[in-house]
Each structure stands twice: as structure tokens, then as C-alpha cells.
């Protein structure tokens, strides 16, 4: 028997289970922003993220009787949201990018971006993540931002664990490159205006 999780919103959840719309709206208000952020990071499109958020909440409210407090409500809802996004992505047939030679790319010293060369800023990182190809962005978001491991990602996306790891490593490298190139562009613009 799985342990029962003491959820701080248990009363609202129980009222929602019996169809109390005020309680359902409270649950929505409590979790919508966090779940929208997950949708947006995965879909990289505001309208699509909003649509999927609404669909995920509809699914959650229809399945609410299956919630047994074996995890937090947020974790249960997050799983529904992630699955909704993955299903939408699978319908689009996201193309994962496979480097021809991973070892070859890692050996090129002149192309390597050093962490210390990049001034990190949350908005810059967010913009860089948004510029990633779909496959990179999705694996990066699931691993780095949502806390899934590569085994879970491989199951969710129906890819091998090594593909998940490769996509994640390539995403990190691409983010570093984007951050460095954006930093160089700004320095060049300042030099022109000086």
C-alpha cells in the first residue's frame, strides 16, 4: 500500500472531487501559473501553452476521483500537464537533432564556450531556451526544470536514454553558445555607439 501524502489543499481537493466549482476555481488559481510555465517551456508558444493548460485542468478535474494522495496534488497535476504537452508534441512529430559525431564536437577547443565567459541573467537564459530546437528544449525543460531523470524522459518521449542525455548535453551547449553570441553582439553594438 502506497503511503498517503498529507496535502495542504486537501479540503479544497475533496470539495472539488464532488463538483464544487468554487473549490475547483481555487485549485485552478493555486496551480495555474506554475502549470502554465511548464506548458510554455515545453511548447514555446503562449497560445498553445494556454490551450494545453486548459485541457490539462479539464482532464485533471475529470480524473480527480483517481487522486489518492499518494503524491502531492501539484506533482499529480504536473504529470497530467507534462503528458498533455508530450502528446501534443508527438502529434507534431518533433524532430530530435542527432549530432553526426558527438566526440568530434567536444574536441573542438576553439568552438567550446567557457562558462566563465558568459554573464548569466535569468531573462537571457529564458530567451536562449526559447531559441532551442524543439527536441533540445523539451528534454532540457523536462530534465533541468521539471526534475525528470533521463530514464523517465526516455519513457515519456519514447526515445532511448542515451538520446535523452545527448539532447540534454546538446541543449546546454547550444544555450551557452547563444548566451555568448548575444553577449558579443551587445558588446559590438556598444562599441559602435561609443
Give the per-residue pLDDT at 53: 96
Do 107 and 151 lie in one domain? The reply is yes
- Interatomic CA distance for residues 133 and 166, integer angstroms: 14
Task: Give the relative orientation of helices 73-92 and 21-43 as an angle to the nearest 10 degrees.
Answer: 50
Give the per-residue pLDDT at 15: 95
Tally the domains of the chain.
2
Q: State the DSSP string of 139-181.
A: HHIIIIIT---HHHHHHHHT--HHHHHHHHHHHHHHHHHHHHH
- Interatomic CA distance for residues 121 and 175, integer angstroms: 12
Do 189 and 107 lie in one domain? The reply is yes
- In the listed set 29, 64, 92, which residue is the last one of a domain according to the structure? 92
Q: Is 97 contained in some domain?
A: no
Q: Is 63 contained in some domain?
A: yes
Give the per-residue pLDDT at 47: 95
Give the per-residue pLDDT at 107: 42
Do 81 and 130 lie in one domain? The reply is no
Give the per-residue pLDDT at 104: 44
Do 66 and 31 lie in one domain? The reply is yes
Give the per-residue pLDDT at 153: 87
Q: Is 4 contained in some domain?
A: no
- Domain, as residue range, for 184: 102-193
- Interatomic CA distance for residues 23 and 13, integer angstroms: 7
Measured on CA atoms in the order 114, 118, 122, 127, is the torsion positive or negative? negative
- Interatomic CA distance for residues 38 and 31, integer angstroms: 11
Do 111 and 87 lie in one domain? The reply is no
Query: Domain holding 71: CATH number?
Result: 1.10.1740.10
Do 169 and 147 lie in one domain? The reply is yes
Residue pair 176/113 in contact by the 8 Å Cβ criterion: yes
Give the per-residue pLDDT at 1: 53
Do 152 and 86 lie in one domain? The reply is no
- Interatomic CA distance for residues 139 and 129, integer angstroms: 11
Do 113 and 33 lie in one domain? The reply is no
Q: Give every residue of the chain whose pLDDT is below 70, as ranges.
A: 1-7, 93-120, 183-194
Residue pair 143/153 in contact by the 8 Å Cβ criterion: yes
Query: Domain holding 177: CATH number?
Result: 1.10.10.10
Amino acid at each position: 500500500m502506497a503511503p498517503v501524502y498529507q496535502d495542504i489543499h486537501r479540503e479544497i481537493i475533496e470539495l472539488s472531487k464532488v463538483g464544487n466549482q468554487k473549490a475547483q476555481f481555487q485549485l485552478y488559481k493555486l496551480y495555474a501559473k506554475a502549470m502554465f510555465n511548464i506548458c510554455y517551456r515545453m511548447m514555446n508558444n503562449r497560445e498553445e501553452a494556454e490551450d494545453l493548460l486548459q485541457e490539462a485542468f479539464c482532464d485533471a478535474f475529470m480524473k480527480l476521483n483517481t487522486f489518492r494522495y499518494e503524491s502531492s496534488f501539484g506533482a499529480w497535476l504536473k504529470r497530467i500537464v507534462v503528458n498533455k504537452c508530450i502528446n501534443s508534441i508527438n502529434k507534431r512529430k518533433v524532430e530530435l537533432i542527432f549530432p553526426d559525431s558527438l566526440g568530434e564536437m567536444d574536441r573542438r577547443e576553439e568552438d567550446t564556450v567557457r562558462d566563465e565567459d558568459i554573464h548569466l541573467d535569468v531573462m537571457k537564459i529564458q530567451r536562449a531556451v526559447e531559441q532551442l530546437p524543439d527536441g533540445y528544449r523539451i528534454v532540457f525543460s523536462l530534465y533541468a526544470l521539471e526534475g525528470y531523470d533521463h530514464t523517465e524522459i526516455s519513457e515519456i518521449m519514447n526515445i532511448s536514454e542515451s538520446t535523452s542525455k545527448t539532447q540534454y548535453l546538446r541543449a546546454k551547449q547550444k544555450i551557452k553558445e547563444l548566451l555568448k553570441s548575444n553577449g558579443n553582439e551587445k558588446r559590438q553594438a556598444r562599441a559602435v555607439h561609443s
